[in-house]
Amino acid sequence: MNYEKGYFSNGNVQYDAAKELLTLIPTNPRSLLDIGCGSGKVSHLIYQNVSPKQMLSIDISQAMLEEVEHRYPSSPIEFRHTDIVQFSSDEVYDVIISNSSFQWFKNK
Q: Name the pTM for this structure.
A: 0.81
The model's pLDDT over 31-85, given as tens digits with 9 standing for 90+, comes to 999 999 988 999 999 999 999 999 999 999 999 999 999 999 999 999 999 988 8
Closest listed residue to residue 96, CA positions, set 86, 106, 84: 84
**107 domain residue, yes or no:** no
Between these two residues, 9 and 65, which has the higher pLDDT value? 65
How many domains does the chain contain in total? Answer: 1
pLDDT of residue 1: 45
Q: For residue 61, what is the domain's CATH number?
A: 3.40.50.150
The model's pLDDT over 46-59, given as tens digits with 9 standing for 90+, comes to 999 999 999 999 99
**108 domain residue, yes or no:** no
Its domain, for residue 73, covers: 3-102
